[in-house]
Amino acid sequence: AIPLVVAISTAISAQNGLLIRNRTAFEESRKISALLFDKTGTLTKGDFGVTRIESVDNAYSKDEILRLSSALEQSSEHPIAVGIIKKVKEENVTVPKPENFNAITGKGVEADVEGKKVKVVSPGYLRDEKISIPEDAYSDAAETVVFVLIDGTLSGYIALADEIRPESFEAIQVFKKNKIKVLMATGDNEKTAKAVSDKLGLDGYYSEVLPHQKVEIVTELQGKKEFVAMTGDGVNDAPALAQADVGIAVGSGTDVAAETADIILVNSNPQDIASLILFGKATFKKMI
């Protein structure tokens, strides 16, 4: 006979955008007391559009900032890169060929372009390198900003905007009603993280999080007796997904994340997690 849990979990998977890889994860989803979400592509749409391109000190024009950056971003799959390439296509920019492309984990990308060392990086990278962030970079708190370094000098920046998914608001109401803490961990900057957290009314957030720090966040929450579910989409998230009590890989996330996760959230929709938890609670209450 097919165990009841399998039958039920198969039924709810079919109705919702969930693939349940680990049978006990479904049973245990009713115990979740803290949910740690990633931001981009899960709580938000992950569909970035370029809102501003600025030149710093005018050594390079805005067009040059975009053109040189595009050489790096065409080799990246990050949603920021996708947003920049969308802009490049709109403007019919001819993208130069990069050499020695390298992704700087959790911080950005770098390559040699036309003999110049170009980097497109996070504000955290600038801080590490003791390069000051231009005052006007964050004129809109909700924007994500990446900085363009050419031969070691800050030469410009690109601001991008993403939107919160409407479904996130509804899902968070369900979690709150069920006394589940909702937290967010993002590699994005503090201002953007706070803007998203405030709009959604989250219980807390962690910004400029490097991949290895996600494991520490999960462990710390578990130390406070929380039963932790975490969402993640990248290779970098795999260790934290494994550490979480319920690891949830989102969307068309990388195979590594999916292989480590207990559950795969096909549509990256937080409401599907709300359904899972409510269904789990209702089902196992009846069985006991």
Active-site positions read 38
Dihedral through CA 120, CA 50, CA 203, CA 229, nearest 10? -70
Query: CA 180, CA 226: separation in Å to the nearest integer?
Result: 10
**Rg (alpha carbons) of the chain, rounded to whole number:** 20
Q: How far is the CB of 101 from ligand ADP (least distance, A)?
A: 10
92: tokens are: 């019919």
Number of residues this chain uses to bind ligand ADP (CB under 6 A): 19
Q: Is 9 in the site for ligand ADP (CB under 6 A)?
A: no
Among 32, 142, 146, 183, binds ligand ADP (CB under 6 A): 146
Secondary structure element (H or E) that encloses residue 54, with its range: strand 49-55
Among 17, 83, 98, 106, binds ligand ADP (CB under 6 A): 106
Q: Is 283 in the site for ligand ADP (CB under 6 A)?
A: no
> Could you tell me which stretch among 110-118, 133-141, 184-192, 241-249 binds ligand ADP (CB under 6 A)?
184-192
- Which positions ≥6 away from 63 have C-beta within 8 Å? 91, 93
Q: Is 130 left (phi over 0), alpha (psi -120 to 50) or beta?
A: left
Residue nearest to ligand ADP (CB): 187
Closest Cα partner for 73 from 62, 89, 56, 60?
A: 89
Binding string to Mg ion for residues 12 to 51, with x set by CB under 5 A, is what?
----------------------------------------
Q: How far is CA 126 from the centre of its chain?
A: 20
Instruction: Report in angstroms how near the CB of residue 15 gets to ligand ADP at its nearest.
Output: 29
- With CA atoms as reference, report the closest residue to 109 among 95, 96, 125, 97: 125
How remote is the C-alpha of 179 from its chain's centroid?
A: 24
Contact 81, 69 (CB under 8 A): no
Among Mg ion, ligand ADP, none, partner that 243 touches (CB below 5 to 8 angstroms by kind): none
Considering the complex, what minimum distance in angstroms separates the CB of residue 110 from ligand ADP? 10
Q: Does the protein bind ligand ADP through residue 280 (CB under 6 A)?
A: no
In this complex, which beta carbon is closest to ligand ADP, that of residue 144 or of residue 197? 144
Residues that bind Mg ion (CB under 5 A): 234
Residues that bind ligand ADP (CB under 6 A): 38-40, 73, 76, 78, 80-81, 106-109, 120, 122, 144, 146, 186-188
